[in-house]
Amino acid sequence: MIIKWPRRLLLDKLKRRAKLIYPPTTTPSVIQLTSHTMLKKGPHNILNEAEAMRFIRARTNIPVPDVLDTWAINEDYAYLVMERVEGVPLRDVFQKLSPAQKRTIAHELKAFVDQMRAIVVPQSHNPGTTGIASVKGGTFREDRFDDEYMGPFEDERAYHDWRVSVVQAFYQPTMENQPTMERLKIIRKELQDDHDIVFTHGDLNPGNILIKVLGDGDAHIVAVLDWEMAGWRPAYWEYVKCLHCMGGCDTEWGEFVGMVLQKYEKEKALDDELQQLSGAGW
């Protein structure tokens, strides 16, 4: 194990060496740095990701890579060095798994989600608040919106007000846009503001779930990755995001998600409509 400061000083050399030794990952921002470590480079939100990973490791038995180091490179970017976990993304093998293997993985993932839902907002996170925020109560990232950094919001009502206002900003107050503006008012009325605010991963797509298939055919989750969008969200948000997964979901994945999460079909339909009206389309 390389201690922090030498690792930082030798990082460029380690990266050049890694490029010669290890195959590229499926995520351009992540490389295998050594036999036991991975390096992720990205916007400063990586620092929030590290906080979320530490937070979850300290409060649950969800398999999350150990954070070994994290630091800002400059005003725009940061590095995260984490433990390397042996496994394959669920996305790569999902269609090959048997129904029994899928049920086992779904059961494990549901147990992990239940642990997240049981976490109480820490007293350090604005005592008594019901706010929607990052793990530490600050600004958070969300790739479903054009404005990827947002919040924090005092409560779900403030979040939904903002969510609809972002879409309204796309439309000039003209006669042609009047039906859309009226529809947005209706959507806002239909958005419920009384969901529980719970700790949420925010990106439980099949590429972020590492599994291992054992010799006897059993399949188990060995790591849950990519916590950069984790934090405090309305209870329905995990379901919406699981069925978003960058447009790469199919019917079988939807059925799998149904074994893991409570369904929020109305909330998903309303959010999908907001996406369509904003021009995002997914």
- pTM equals 0.90
pLDDT tens-digit readout, 248-273: 567 889 999 999 999 999 999 999 99
- Please state, as a whole number, how many other Cβ atoms lie within 10 Å of the Cβ of residue 281: 8
Q: Return the H-helix or E-strand segment holding 252.
A: helix 251-260
Q: With b meaning 16 or more CB within 10 Å and e meaning fewer, what string describes 79-88?
A: bbbbebbebe
Q: Where are the domains of the chain?
A: 4-83, 88-278
What token pair was written down for 132?
């929607």
Confidence of residue 2 (pLDDT cuts 50, 70, 90): low
What token pair was written down for 128?
């008594």
Total residue length of the chain: 282
CATH superfamily for domain 88-278: Aminoglycoside phosphotransferase (APH), C-terminal lobe (3.90.1200.10)
pLDDT at 43 > cutoff 70: yes
Give the per-residue pLDDT at 38. Answer: 95
pLDDT at 126 > cutoff 70: no
Q: How far is Cα 106 from Cα 220, in angstroms, rounded to an integer?
A: 10
pLDDT tens-digit readout, 200-225: 999 999 999 999 998 778 999 999 99
Dihedral sign for Cα atoms in the order 97, 102, 105, 106: positive
**Angle between the N-to-C axes of helices 178-190 and 156-168, in degrees from 0 to 180, rounded to the nearest 10:** 170
Q: What's the mean pLDDT in 43-54? A: 91
Domain 4-83 has CATH 3.30.200.20: yes
DSSP label at 207?
G
Q: How far is Cα 91 from Cα 74, in angstroms, rounded to an integer?
A: 34
Q: How far is Cα 138 from Cα 206, in angstroms, rounded to an integer?
A: 27
pLDDT tens-digit readout, 139-182: 998 888 766 688 999 999 999 999 999 999 999 989 999 999 99
Coil, helix or strand for 11? helix
Q: How far is Cα 113 from Cα 107, in angstroms, rounded to an integer?
A: 10
Q: Find out whether 210 and 225 touch, Cβ atoms under 8 Å.
A: yes
CA atoms within 13 A on the CB side of 163: 26
Q: How far is Cα 204 from Cα 189, in angstroms, rounded to an integer?
A: 28
